[in-house]
């Protein structure tokens, strides 16, 4: 289960990024790691384009190169994120080996999603020195009561992400629910899909 989830999740992330950066901008967005490292503004490596609306106020597609972590935090700290992601992948494999049983299919699925998301973004950081993002959920939807984010944006979700980020969020959410539902002494092991587990 973990291996299949990892392979399919990673493939969906890398293929979707490739297709997005070939098609969304009207002309293919192609760049090298060296170009990213030397660019003053990463947006200069992308074609000028308007966001492509998939569902109004639900999902736009737009190209962004993210040199930081989630939400663009820590731009310029590439090797810190590479190292952190590598340790996170190793820790996820340890959790899989030490804390789960063969019947814990939901836990294996969740860990597989975490690994797929982590490895997908790690691939981008190693190959391109940044992460390729293209999904903008809830574009133009404003925060209630005029509340703004620390960056000054009043949008409910001003960030652009990718499929790897989606798998990370789902995997973390699943593991939190599984840990919350599990007896304290049983840990992740209670996350089995079998009724007799």
How far apart are alpha carbons 134 and 152 in whole angstroms? 21
Pull the structure tokens for residue 42: 């990463």
20 CB neighbour count, 10 Å cutoff: 21
Q: What does the DSSP 8-state code read for residue 53?
A: E
**Contact of 5 with 112, CB cutoff 8 Å:** yes
How far from 90 is each of 7, 18, 24, 94, CA to CA, in Å?
16, 26, 34, 6
Please provide the distance, in angstroms rounded to a whole number, between the alpha carbons at the two ends of the chain.
17
Q: Which of 60, 104, 165, 196 is catalytic?
A: 165
Q: Is residue 38 within 8 Å of 44, Cβ to Cβ?
A: no
User: Which is the catalytic residue, given 13, 60, 124, 133?
Assistant: 133
Residue 133 annotated among the catalytic residues of the structure: yes
DSSP class of residue 99 equals H
Tokens of 47: 């074609």
The residues near 45 (Cβ < 8 Å, ≥ 6 apart) are 29, 31, 35, 36, 39, 65
* Active site amino acids: 133, 165
């Amino acid at each position: 289960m973990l291996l299949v989830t990892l392979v399919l999740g990673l493939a969906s992330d890398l293929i979707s990024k490739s297709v997005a950066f070939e098609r969304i901008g009207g002309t293919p967005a192609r760049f090298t790691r060296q170009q990213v490292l030397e660019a003053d503004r990463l947006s200069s490596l992308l074609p000028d384009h308007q966001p492509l609306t998939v569902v109004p106020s639900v999902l736009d597609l737009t190209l962004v190169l993210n040199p930081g972590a989630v939400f663009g935090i820590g731009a310029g700290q590439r090797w810190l994120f590479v190292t952190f992601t590598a340790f996170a992948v190793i820790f996820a494999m340890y959790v899989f080996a030490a804390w789960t049983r063969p019947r814990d299919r939901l836990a294996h699925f969740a860990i597989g999603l975490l690994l797929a998301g982590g490895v997908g973004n790690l691939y981008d950081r190693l190959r391109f020195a940044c992460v390729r993002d293209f999904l903008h959920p809830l574009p133009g939807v404003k925060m209630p009561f005029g509340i703004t984010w620390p960056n000054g944006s009043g949008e409910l979700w001003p960030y652009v992400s990718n499929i790897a980020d989606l798998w990370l969020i789902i995997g973390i959410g699943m593991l939190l629910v599984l840990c919350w539902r599990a007896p304290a002494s049983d840990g992740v092991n209670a996350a089995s899909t079998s009724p007799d587990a």
